[in-house]
Amino acid sequence: MLFTRREWTFAVAGSLVGAPLARLTAQSKSVVTGVRLGAQTYVFRGMPLDQVPAAFKATGLSFAELWSGHVETAAAMGATEGMAREARRELLRTWRTTGPLSAFEAIRARFADAGVTLTSYDVPYRDDWSDGEITRSFEIAKALGVSVITSSAGTSVVPRIARLLEGSGVKVSFHNHSSIRPGEFATPDDFTTAMKASPNIGVTLDIGHFTAANFDAVKFLDEHHDRIHAMHIKDRKRDQGAGVPFGQGDAPIVAVLQRLRDKKWDIPAHIEFDYRPADAVAEVTTCYEYCRKALETR
């Protein structure tokens, strides 16, 4: 659980009601040859939430997948240092199920003020999530203005998610890692099995992890593009290799982006990396330029 990373200093006062028209205008500056380029806010995990919209603005990106680690902090929930793990878990459950939705509307507004549109919300579903926490996450997504939840989850939660999604108006898009072991999303079969459980279940395809596990991201995109709700654009070496800067690994970044362009598949492509650069804003800007050049090359 990631709720002790940084204090949540974002002021939750305010809402979208009465927002200036300019703030509500759809952003399109990081749409390149028809492809929506953005980033996962995890790339700015060293910053508190209130600094993240400005970081996006500095990079020129105008689409963001919001990482719940930026939201579910100790400060947000009122957790104290030395609190027992069980007590912290119960506090988190209470916060998730009873916290005001206006706080999430305010987050959405703060990103919009910076010219950034949220595309999805990333939450870590686990077996210990109550049904109330899961259904509340759907309401939170709507307050954020998104209809897609991405989730790094275990496969065991799929049946329950499928049941609770019915009639919610939200889609859950499971995210893969590279570790191939029971209960983890890693292989193409893990995804296809989950998608059979509900038409509201789809994929967040992390092409870096997929490559590190020695699977073909372009092939999977071709076969399942209609069920891929988001993509994480990341570079890694094959054979469980390390995460590396764009262009230094084996992930088919250029081929994937150009496939989105040529096929006109409107799937948000979110820049992400797991290494820690000296300057996250500069690194994301470099990644953005790499993606832009890939899309502008014919």
pLDDT given at position 28 = 57
Condensed to tens digits (0 to 9), the pLDDT of residues 202-219 reads 999 999 999 999 999 999
pTM, two decimal places: 0.89
pLDDT given at position 278 = 97
**Locate tokens 């995210």: which residue?**
175
- Position 1, amino acid: M
Tokens at residue 99, please?
Answer: 């916290």
Over range 117-125, report the average pLDDT. Answer: 97
pLDDT given at position 18 = 34
Position 33 confidence tier, pLDDT thresholds 50, 70, 90: very high
In a 10 Å sphere around its CB, with 0-12 CB exposed, 13-18 middle and 19+ buried, how is residue 284 labelled? buried
Residue 284 has pLDDT above 70, yes or no: yes
**Locate tokens 């910053």: which residue?**
47
Rounded to 5°, the CA angle 191-195-196 comes to 120
Residue 172 has pLDDT above 70, yes or no: yes
Phi, psi of 113 (to 5 degrees): -60, -30
Residue 8 has pLDDT above 80, yes or no: no
Average pLDDT, the chain: 91
Rounded to the nearest 5 percent, the helix, strand and coil shares of the chain are 45, 15, 40
What is the spatial distance between Cα 162 and Cα 185, in angstroms, rounded to a whole number?
16
Collapsing DSSP states into helix, strand and coil, what is residue 209? helix
What is the spatial distance between Cα 119 and Cα 130, in angstroms, rounded to a whole number?
25
Position 25 confidence tier, pLDDT thresholds 50, 70, 90: very low
In this structure, how many other beta carbons lie within 10 angstroms of the beta carbon of residue 80? Answer: 10
What is the spatial distance between Cα 4 and Cα 9, in angstroms, rounded to a whole number?
13
pLDDT given at position 2 = 35
What is the spatial distance between Cα 127 and Cα 158, in angstroms, rounded to a whole number?
10
Q: Which of 111, 113, 124 is nearest to 72 (CA)?
A: 124
pLDDT given at position 81 = 85
Tokens at residue 269, please?
Answer: 């492509």
Position 86 confidence tier, pLDDT thresholds 50, 70, 90: very high
Q: Could you tell me which CATH class the domain 31-296 is placed in? A: alpha beta
pLDDT given at position 266 = 97
**Locate tokens 């902090």: which residue?**
73
* Angle at which helices 52-59 and 102-113 cross, to 10°: 30
pLDDT given at position 298 = 87
pLDDT given at position 253 = 98
Over range 67-88, report the average pLDDT. Answer: 90
Residue percentage of the chain with pLDDT more than 70: 91
Collapsing DSSP states into helix, strand and coil, what is residue 161? helix
Collapsing DSSP states into helix, strand and coil, what is residue 281? helix
Strands (E), 186-263: 201-206, 228-233
Domain limits, the chain: 31-296
CA dihedral 76, 147, 116, 28 (to 10 degrees): 180
**Locate tokens 């690994």: which residue?**
249
pLDDT given at position 22 = 38
More confident site: 108 or 17: 108
Over range 128-134, report the average pLDDT. Answer: 97
Phi, psi of 184 (to 5 degrees): -110, 145
CB 230 within 8 A of CB 268: yes
Phi, psi of 120 (to 5 degrees): -165, 165
